[in-house]
């Protein structure tokens, strides 16, 4: 068996490599830095508090497929100082935005907080890497960082996989898809040296609870799904019932009630979602204004239909034809109902734009709407032809009956 000779020159080089690695580990372990590494999101958060200063040095590394990564000083979003980072317009630099929030809504940019972004901050190897200093950030109007605490509460969050690519520090961000809480040792983090070293080890920090919590925006999903069912399925069905089966008004009453309940079912989660975002809290966006007005008009037409049914039933019980005003009421009920339906469909597209859905979602909604129109047009045409033929026949029968009635001027009886 051949033997492998060991080079005597290789041993010192190998020894020096091990010594250098050990020295680096000792330096990292003794550095005035507390670091949290989150395996689930491959995110590193490191904090350093320089002595004799109110500044905070921070180093964050997170995959660039997230729209943003954010950290906050506090146990919850409310009253916390939040630092949000996302890719800049050139997709190479990083935009870092200091923000505040007063509740569980997206944080709002604060220009009064000053940051210095150091030159090592960039997007590299599909990671957003920020090495920065937040000046005078150890206290703010609604909170502070306790430099003597070994368990300073902090939070983190990751945004959805929708690129932002903006240089605007006040750019709107989507609701996070994952978040968590952790404690950080600020005593360990206090000292000279700053930060800026990649690490996949947690030192001086610990996750709280179950780690990262994944968020499913069920209210927004329910709002969209129920609305689509109401606008593209139940509404045309109710319209067909009202036109083709008008001799059985009870069926229209049931379908209209079902239609209204579905619209209310879409409205409630929409209101819940609106309260979670600063831009929609005051219900002043075009989607919200048009939606509320349309729902109100639908409610009025629902009770309008009840009044119309009562008038017709009263005339029938008396053996009389419905009064002429009922025809006007019926026309208003019919055409306002159609307008409400059209506005619902239009507002669905506006809602998708407000939610910043992708072009694929918008195209899908357009295809569904177009498919519904193609499917319903021949059906509505047949109903219209049938109704027209029926109305003409009734007019002919009425005319013949009028001509066959005896008259005082007719002596043929």
- List C-alpha distances in Å: 190 to 40, 194, 370: 28, 9, 62
1 confidence band (pLDDT: 50, 70, 90): very low
Average pLDDT over residues 53-66: 95
pLDDT, tens digit, 9 for 90 and up, residues 113-130: 999 999 889 999 899 999
CATH 1.20.120.1770 fits 218-390, yes or no: yes
Ranges of CATH 2.60.40.1210 domains, the chain: 32-214
pLDDT, tens digit, 9 for 90 and up, residues 242-269: 876 666 778 888 999 999 999 999 999 9
290 confidence band (pLDDT: 50, 70, 90): very high
Listed range (208-217, 253-262, 265-274) with the worst mean pLDDT? 208-217
The count of other CB atoms within 10 Å of the CB of residue 1 is 2
Residue whose tokens read 């033929």: 389
pLDDT, tens digit, 9 for 90 and up, residues 337-380: 999 999 999 999 999 988 878 788 889 999 999 988 888 888 87
Is the distance from CB of 214 to CB of 43 less than 8 angstroms? no
Topology of the domain covering 32-214: Immunoglobulin-like (2.60.40)
Q: What does pLDDT average to over the chain?
A: 84
Segment 353-358 long-range contacts (CB within 8 Å, at least 24 positions apart):
353/287, 354/280, 354/285, 354/286, 354/287, 355/220, 355/224, 356/162, 356/172, 356/174, 358/162
Ranges of CATH 1.20.120.1770 domains, the chain: 218-390
15 confidence band (pLDDT: 50, 70, 90): low
On the question of pLDDT at 324 being above 70, the answer is: yes
pLDDT of residue 210: 81
pLDDT of residue 398: 57
- pTM score: 0.69
């Amino acid at each position: 068996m051949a033997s492998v000779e060991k080079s005597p020159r290789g041993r010192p080089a190998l020894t020096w490599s091990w010594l250098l690695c050990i020295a680096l580990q000792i330096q990292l372990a003794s550095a005035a830095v507390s670091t949290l590494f989150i395996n689930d999101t491959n995110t590193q958060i490191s904090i350093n508090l320089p002595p004799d200063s109110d500044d905070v040095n921070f180093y964050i590394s997170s995959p660039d497929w997230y729209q943003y990564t954010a950290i906050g000083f506090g146990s919850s979003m409310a009253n916390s100082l939040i630092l949000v980072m996302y890719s800049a317009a050139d997709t190479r630099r990083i935009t870092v935005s200091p923000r505040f929030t007063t509740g569980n809504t997206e944080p709002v940019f604060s220009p009064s907080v000053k940051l210095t972004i150091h030159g090592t901050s960039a997007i590299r190897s599909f990671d957003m890497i920020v090495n920065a200093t937040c000046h005078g950030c150890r206290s703010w109007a609604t909170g502070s960082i306790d430099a003597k605490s070994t368990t300073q509460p902090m939070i983190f969050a990751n945004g959805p996989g929708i690129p932002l690519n903006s240089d605007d520090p006040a750019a709107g961000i989507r609701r996070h898809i994952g978040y968590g809480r952790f404690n950080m040792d600020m005593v360990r983090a206090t000292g000279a040296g700053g930060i800026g070293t990649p690490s996949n080890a947690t030192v001086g920090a610990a996750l709280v609870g179950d780690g990262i919590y994944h968020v499913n925006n069920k209210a927004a999903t329910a709002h969209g799904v129920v609305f689509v069912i109401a606008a593209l399925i139940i509404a045309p069905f109710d319209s067909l019932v009202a036109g083709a089966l008008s001799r059985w008004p009870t069926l229209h009453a049931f379908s209209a009630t079902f239609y209204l309940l579905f619209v209310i079912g879409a409205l409630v989660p929409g209101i819940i979602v609106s309260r979670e975002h600063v831009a929609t809290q005051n219900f002043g966006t075009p989607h919200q204004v048009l939606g509320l007005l349309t729902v109100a008009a639908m409610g009025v037409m629902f009770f309008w239909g009840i009044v119309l049914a009562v008038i017709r039933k009263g005339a029938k019980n008396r053996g009389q034809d419905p009064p002429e005003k009922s025809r006007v009421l019926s026309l208003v009920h019919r055409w306002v109902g159609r307008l409400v339906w059209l506005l619902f469909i239009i507002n669905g597209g506006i809602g998708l734009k407000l939610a910043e859905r992708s072009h694929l979602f918008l195209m899908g909604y357009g295809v569904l709407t177009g498919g519904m129109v193609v499917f319903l047009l021949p059906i509505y045409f047949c109903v219209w032809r049938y109704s027209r033929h029926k109305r003409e026949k009734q007019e002919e029968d009425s005319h013949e009956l009028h001509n066959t009635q005896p008259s005082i001027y007719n002596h043929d009886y």
